[in-house]
A and B are shown apart, each in its own frame.
Chain A
Amino acid sequence: MTKAVLLSLFVLSCAPLAVQAQTSTQQPPARGAALAAAAAKIPTPGEFPAYKPPHTGDGKPDFNGIWQSFVTADIDIQDHDAQAGPHPDIMGAYGAWPGGQGIVEGGEIPYKPEALAKKKANAEKRMVVNITSDDRRHDTGDPELKCYRPGVPRANYMPFPFQIIQSTDNIMMVYEFEHTLRTIFMKENDKEAPKDPPADSWMGWSHGRFEGDTLVIDTTGFVPYTWFDRAGDFHSDALHVIERYTLASPYHIMYEATIEDPNVYTRPWKVSFPLYRRMEKNVQLVDFDCVEFVEKMLYGPYYKNPGK
């Protein structure tokens, strides 16, 4: 055998490999192309393909279900790094707080200068609990720490699920955190639900309507005592929140809230984040009635042997 023959044999033996190599970089057969192409594409965070949600029996987008967010905004609605929590000497990693990106569009909350000072004072005193039998009890201390109702929109980004029960005239939002409840009045000219809030409340007075498949909720009538997070972000009784809930997939609501309070901010500002449908097979709300966990903290100074 000559060198030429050996060379040819070598080339021939490599050819199948070369052909294989070529074949693997070619497109798959046309019949499964679309499927394979779709399977290969991972969703882009922040982007949802167009989605037409199921409707209720009365023709409205169906928000029924158990939902929860997974941002860490309850700690701080702006960007925050992980931090030791209270009493790290006892609590260790149990008590440490995770970091997370903020939910404020544009990043910064547009505080008036004097209001920013109040936010900082709030943060410094977030664990100063001084309960009196008058409204001075609200002067210091994060209301979440005291197991008070979280307000809007904080209730939607607490690390607890909530359930939406939707009927024609009312949409109820039942939160696991301290069985907080929001009644969203959906009926126009509802004589049992006047347009203006009759009195102030922690979760506000809400009227809702649909714009296409988006649920728009307009809420006023807030007491000035809730915070937006543990970082002391706060509001006055002039707070006005407009929320938009849009079903973005069978498993997601895209949520945004516009916050307006001329006493505290120089302009309205927005937060947004997805809400996720809880999909555990046996999912239900359980109780987190935290009042029983805070009684000693709230009332200890009035106990028979305080400090014991």
Chain B
Amino acid sequence: MGNRFGVSSNALMIGAAVLLLPAFILAQTKPSVAAKADTKTASAKSPEKKTWVLPRTPDGQPNLQGYWTSLSFTPMERPAKYGSREFLTDEEAAEIHKEGIQHSYEFTFNDLAETPVYDATVYALSAWQEGVAPNKRTSLVVDPPDGKIPALTPEAAKVREAVRRHGPNQDYADPNAPVKADVAEDLNLGERCLSFGGPPILPGAYNSNFFIVQGAGYVMVEYEWNNETRIIPLDGQPALSQGIHRWHGNSRGHWEGNTLVVETSNFRPGATFQGANPKTLKITEYFTRTDQNTIEYKFTVDDPSTWTKPWSAIVPLSHMDGPIFEYDCSENNNDAVNILAGARATERAAEEKAKKISQK
């Protein structure tokens, strides 16, 4: 298959993705009924035409297994310029995709003077190397229909404002600003290798990859980051123990037609999506395989103490080639040492400087 992109097989994958754009758009523009998105098994079959049949596991369940990426250039909330439009035109989608892969990882070595970071392309971590598929949606958020996350409750707004005024421990805008790193708890959960979040599944900058395996009444979702794994028991398993709280919450799943519906609650304090209330947060996820290379993944966030109403988003999951290698994290967390030691070195340097000044 000829393509206009270049010689790498990854380029071919992107090229293929773009050439398949019309088919992909078809899949995306099907109305996404929450529970009952059906497959593309057409009712009118002609002998020559190949129709995709939803594969099933040996025990008859829809087959969601394999390696999937959530990498996407689609913003969470709808940019104002799209107004009330849920979908982009073909041209807009192609433009956004093209721009995304040109600037997929903002910290390139073009910013050498400003940003002391490795070049992601060298490590095949740029989006175009990892395999990002175009998405025709204007935003991930699909409900409310304006594509915006609903307002916070007054209580949650107060907490957010206090945090904003207090400021994060690190100034993201200024690489040379002093960093507060007195103890490990001053670092974020990812830097401590404690948890990289989820549910829900979101697009990440890289390694935004998942492995789904199904067996005997359980569905396993492995996240590449730290190989964190959610095991979802299906219908018929005993009820949740209400006194158990987990980094990724505790999940139960069941099938509604060909859609896997997963309900998760019992989150740990300090480890909830967007800082929601672990006591009242409930996340419902819907996994529907819409073609060989796509799972339509929708999630609904419901926390009456944080948002004034529930809201939903659709994140496309696209098939990718594996494997997902072991992601050791704490075992070789040189960052934790280097950040803490770096803060100590900065303090020492400041102390010595102050001493010299006072000695003059």
Contacts and interface: CB of A to CB of B under 8 A. Distances in A.
A77 B211 CA distance: 34
Nearest to A170: B213
Given A64-B217, A284-B250, 11 more contacts: A133-B337, A165-B216, A167-B215, A168-B57, A183-B324, A192-B67, A192-B321, A296-B183, A299-B337, A302-B340, A304-B343
Interface stretch (B163-171, B223-231, B308-316): B223-231
B65 interface: yes
A87 to B, nearest CB: 22
B41 interface: no
6 contacts: A165-B213, A165-B215, A201-B325, A284-B250, A298-B330, A299-B184
Interface in B316-360: 321-326, 328, 330-332, 334-338, 340-341, 343-344, 347
A225 B227 CA distance: 19
B326 A289 contact: no
A282 B322 contact: no
A140 B131 CA distance: 41
Given A133-B334, A167-B65, A302-B337, A198 B325 contact: yes
Interface centre among B185, B337, B341, by most A CB within 10 Å? B337
B195 interface: yes
Chain B interface category by residue count: 35 or more
Contacts of B341: 133, 302
A178 B58 CA distance: 31
Contact of B330 (A56, A192, A225, A291): A291
Given A192-B322, A303-B182, A282 B192 contact: no
Nearest to B336: A299
Contacts of B343: 304
Contacts of B322: 192-193
Contacts of A149: 326, 328, 331
B220 A172 contact: yes
B30 to A, nearest CB: 28
A304 B226 CA distance: 27
Q: Is the interface of A mostly helix, strand, loop or mixed?
A: loop
A134 interface: yes
Contact of B337 (A132, A178, A282, A304): A132
Contacts of A62: 216
A299 B330 CA distance: 11
Interface string A195-226: 00011011100000000000000000000010
A179 B226 CA distance: 9
A183 B327 CA distance: 12
Contacts of A168: 57-58
A197 B196 CA distance: 26
Nearest to B222: A181
A18 interface: no
